[in-house]
Amino acid sequence: AEVSAAAGSVRIAGRPLGGPDWHALTELRADGCTLLLDDTDPYRDLRAPAGVEPIDSTAEWQELFGPAWDILRRTDTEVAEALAGGLVSVVPRPRAERFRPHSASSGDAFGTALASAPDDAEQFASTLVHEFQHNKLSAFMHLFTLYDDQGTRLHYAPWRDDPRPLGGLLQGVYAFFGVTAFWRRRGHALGQFEFALWRSQTAYALRAVGSADGLNDLGRRLVAELTRRIEPWLDEPVDARVRTAAALAVADHRATWRACHLRPEPGTLRAHATAWAAGNPLPRTTDEPEPAPVPGSPARGIDTRAVLLRWLLADPAGFAALRD
């Protein structure tokens, strides 16, 4: 075949081509799944057209993809088969901070996921599950309506620094339901931590979505089914130390998010400050409505405690080095 343009032509001889005139995509291959590693498409980025950014080495991606695919097949054959049939490409991004991978996808680009270079095969597998969940729900929402919401009311999303509209929260719930299911079958300390953390956060968000105005009947059916499936997981045993760590991460994220994004009424603040200064009990405010999140409030790294707990559980020596 020959590709021709005003500046010249390139003949394709049925083999990968390199050099300055042609940027061939790398294929990540495993037994039963092949993905394109797309570092060239000008529309691969979610925000704006991007130039060609060939990654320095594809070997690490390939070395991790094979074991990641094996993990997926052993963890859940049905999920693995669906992913192999639906996911087409991964857009590689630079490595992120350890235990804080970055990934994203678009509702207008089914079959594609952006992902930072993974720490290891297990993280790679979890990221693929996460983003394919977004892909599936986005495709479903192109066919069916789940909610009627203008995005004016914002909600707490336990996996985000920023407040999210109902649609964004619903997307997160579906994605992290899949993440929870993945880690549920990983029995080591870090896997148990991720399972305990995300089952709690996903269940909390499901309650928020279920009580929010805007869901239609189909949306309520989806939330009810996810809730029915996750509720038994909340009682499944995990190591006591891991359970304590996950509870700490949950509480810390929630408290930090509230401090960043909620603004109590000035009168409430004055009453509490006066009572505290006088050594009196704080006034009860149970009947007071929850303040609305402030959009655009700057907040970064609200998950820092969870990241540090991952270091502690997965790499105690590395955690000790962080403290030095």
Answer yes or no: is 202 within a domain. Answer: yes
Last residue of a domain, one of 113, 143, 173: 143
C-alpha pair distances (Å), 102 with each of 15, 123, 213, 229, 260: 32, 11, 30, 27, 22
The stretch 157-184 carries a mean pLDDT of: 97
- Render pLDDT for 89-122 as a digit per residue (tens, 0 to 9): 999 999 999 999 999 999 999 999 999 999 999 9
Same domain for 189 and 318? Answer: yes
Number of structural domains (the chain) is 2
Q: Sign (positive/negative) of CA torsion 165, 167, 173, 175?
A: negative
167 and 118 share one domain: no
Same domain for 120 and 67? yes
111, 208: one domain: no
> Which of 110, 143, 176 delimits the end of a domain?
143
Question: Measuring CA to CA, which residue among 176, 183, 161 is closest to residue 209?
Answer: 176
Q: What is the mean pLDDT of residues 184-200?
A: 97
The amino acid at residue 54 is P
pLDDT in tens, 42-76: 878 877 788 777 777 789 999 999 999 999 999 99
Output the pTM of the full model.
Answer: 0.88
Give the range of the structural domain holding residue 22, as residue numbers without chain letter.
18-143
The proportion of the chain whose per-residue pLDDT surpasses 70, expressed as a percent, equals: 94
Q: Report residue 90: phi and psi, to 5°.
A: -120, 130
For the segment 213-246, what is each residue's pLDDT rounded down to a tens digit?
Answer: 899 999 999 999 999 999 999 999 999 999 999 9
**pLDDT of amino acid 52:** 74
Q: Residue 21 is encoded by which pair of tokens?
A: 């005139």
